[in-house]
Amino acid sequence: NVGETITAAADGYVIGVIEGYEHGGKSQKWRDFANTVTLFHPQMGIYTQYVHLKYEGCLVEIGDTVKANQPIGLSGMTGLTTTPHLHFNVLKPVTKDMVSTPVEFKGGISGHDLKKGIWVSRKKATDDGKAP
């Protein structure tokens, strides 16, 4: 839901913060207008992004050190979206680019197996299209 607290997936550093966008929608024109926090996790050599955050809903600043489970932002509906949700990217650097990489959540839930309509929370995953 809009306004829920988003936490860091792992220890790292804040390398990107965008929080000035107020709106979103289903049109492609909104694609580049999502509020986002980007973290670097040097112990794993990966980056994570938390996308569609609330207007002025970032709780961290570039250069901050974060710990796993530390609040970093508030969920929203900015950018290309029609429903409140968190777009969570896990990226690995590959020759001047970033490539999405598979991830396994605590509890053995594979990010690769997630499909539209499956919701993941800290407690469980459901496939009924409703948040657990």
For the segment 73-127, what is each residue's pLDDT rounded down to a tens digit?
Answer: 999 999 999 888 888 999 888 777 777 777 776 667 776 776 666 666 655 545 5
Cα-only R_g, the chain: 14
Which residues are paired to 110 by β-bridges? Answer: 104
The pTM (predicted TM-score) of the whole model is: 0.80
Q: Is the dihedral of CA 28, 49, 85, 54 positive or negative?
A: negative
Residue 15 near residue 43, CB atoms below 8 Å: no
pLDDT at 33: 94
Give the span between the Cα atoms of 102 and 122, in whole angstroms. Answer: 18
- In angstroms, rounded to a whole number, what is the distance separating the alpha carbons of residues 24 and 8? 23
* Residue listed under structure tokens 């794993």: 44
Tokens of 102: 């598979």
AA letter at 12: G
Task: Dump pLDDT digits (tens) for 25-70.
Answer: 999 999 999 999 999 999 999 999 999 999 999 999 999 999 999 9
Task: State residue 132's pLDDT score.
Answer: 45
